[in-house]
Structure 1
């Protein structure tokens, strides 16, 4: 099951990434053309803005797009060293995963022995709640990203906007960065619709993007994430900004899951009662006993 799961997940990620990279040059040209149209409207339209300021802004935007394209293409597998590092990391991950699946509860019990016996039960519950929050976050984020990509992709296909698959792949990948990712992907979709189909089509695409984002914010996120992973939007934005500054794109992707784990664990530790987490027990099964407690901890749950 583990090998089959890795194969399915790897195949899906490969399809999404290859589709996005292959469509990136045409997507870039569409965005650049849409920026040129916006510049003409700002200079020759009712606003009559200065062309120098607009040109500087467009040049910065085009430079950012080109830099991102260069980073993606240069980050492809080009050398034997990179291939070796990826394979080594993958094999190490699979090796660790096998032991986590085989004896995860035993490893966790060993870790909890490093804390005093009187608080061991509370640390055990807090750790399992934090891990359950991480599991819920990953599952919910993947489901939300899929719904966003399919919803916006169907809307773009109905309207007749080109590059439906690359744009859908972009929406799927960007959805893993909460709040900011959806806004950026939706903006690109609107710009492509503007240059390809005109102003009315761009407005319709904007309405589709807003509708999908509202569905995500008010239905999918509360329903799938639940209270175990619920975070304030301001905390999410600050976490993403901190992760981006600290560790780049990888930091932005990992900041919110880490915040969710810390949020659930700290809330559990500060709680007065030694109760089991409301979410599914992901670290213990029926064949394992709870962590050992000390002589003065006989009433711990």
Structure 2
């Protein structure tokens, strides 16, 4: 019987068919178990990202349990503040979208009359309809941008009227969200022990390789995610404080908007820049120029200081590679793809440089 089985298994077509069948069964099992896996992955992701904070408290000789409690207290305060700022942003964006024609009319009239002021020769009559059409296109573009941004921010509030509704929709419901938060407490408290237990699940000869890969992934992928969160916080802080000093209305909400969208590199300053400049326009040209200076400074600090120092050390990705990863991820999976594009590229770079290029296949063909 065994000999007959060996002869059958020696056939490569049989092996391929068995492997394809196992892959199909595993895929169907994953589909059926995905709701439960989604809760577990959400809980683990939060515990993994918050673990450095707990280690920070432990380094200050605080008990680990107290560190976990402080992390969740901070999470509750952040969600409350973020929900308040998001609600303010919705109200102000709605008002801004309605008053956009009134805000733009003086600027467009000045723009149309600019050639007559600069040159002694007036603008030809044939060009005036073109300039007027270009002005209407600009107004329509800004109107569409504000409406799209408003719909996205309203989506953040969710049906529950706060950010918990948004997170609940991501996980699959309020019960699933509460289960994920509860599990994340256990994950966060026991994360080092769980990591050691997971390593013991692999065969002993492969455990050093798995541990080495886990360290490198933590340094690249985990370092990028945590670093990008820190960069987003710093950019949002600079935009909020800077616009507040300039006197732009709703500066705190604009800073929050810049921080949220800056989870995708360089997007936050651009997204918050349009409503910031429009709100600054109500105070005159000088306030617009000062608001533009604040946004430009935040963008320069992100690109030349925060990004290279905080995120660049973790991923060591060329900016073109990072932008390409964001574009490809967004085209495949939308917003989640844009968020996960750079970590996926960093993961592939680790596999390419540290494993593929060290393999006999790469060296010998």
1:66 paired with 2:147, answer yes
Other-structure match for 1:148: 235
Aligned length: 268
Which shifted more, 122-131 or 37-46? Answer: 37-46
Distance 1:78 1:187 in 2: 27
Contact map agreement 2:200 2:207 (CA 8 A) in 1:
no
Distance 1:233 1:197 in 2: 37
Which shifted more, 49-58 or 76-85? Answer: 76-85
Other-structure match for 2:175: 87
1:227 paired with 2:336, answer no
Q: Secondary structure at the match of 1:162?
A: coil
1:175 paired with 2:258, answer no
TM-score, normalised by the number of residues in structure 1 = 0.74
Distance 1:63 1:147 in 2: 29
Contact map agreement 1:126 1:266 (CA 8 A) in 2:
no
Q: Secondary structure at the match of 1:56?
A: helix
1:37 to partner: Cα distance = 4.4
Contact map agreement 1:19 1:166 (CA 8 A) in 2:
yes
Other-structure match for 1:238: 324
1:125 paired with 2:231, answer no
Which shifted more, 151-160 or 40-49? Answer: 40-49
Q: Report the CA distance shift for 1:125/1:35 in structure 2 as closer, same or farther (over 3 A).
A: farther
**Which of 20, 28, 40 in structure 1 is aligned with 2:109?**
40
Alignment of 1:1-301 (within 5 A): 1-30=67-96, 32=100, 34-46=103-115, 48=128, 49-73=130-154, 76-78=157-159, 85-92=173-180, 94-95=182-183, 98-99=186-187, 101=191, 102-110=193-201, 112-113=202-203, 117=205, 121-193=208-280, 195-270=281-356, 272=358
Other-structure match for 1:293: none
Contact map agreement 2:199 2:210 (CA 8 A) in 1:
no
Q: Report the CA distance shift for 1:234/1:91 in structure 2 as closer, same or farther (over 3 A).
A: same
1:35 to partner: Cα distance = 4.3
1:104 to partner: Cα distance = 1.5
1:167 to partner: Cα distance = 0.9
Q: Secondary structure at the match of 1:177?
A: coil
Distance 1:18 1:92 in 2: 24
Instruction: Looking at secondary structure, tell me which structure has more helix per residue.
Output: 2
Which of structures 1 and 2 has the larger relative contact order (alpha carbons within 8 angstroms, sep 6+)?
Answer: 1
User: What is the root-mean-square deviation of aligned Cα atoms in Å?
Assistant: 3.2
In structure 1, list runs of 5 or more residues that go unmatched. 274-301
1:126-163 Cα distance to aligned partner (Å, 9 max, x none): 33211222332233222222222222222212221111
Distance 1:94 1:265 in 2: 34
Q: Report the CA distance shift for 1:42/1:123 in structure 2 as closer, same or farther (over 3 A).
A: farther
TM-score, normalised by the number of residues in structure 2 = 0.63
Contact map agreement 2:239 2:298 (CA 8 A) in 1:
yes
1:22 to partner: Cα distance = 1.9
Q: Secondary structure at the match of 1:125?
A: helix
Distance 1:15 1:129 in 2: 35
1:67 to partner: Cα distance = 3.5
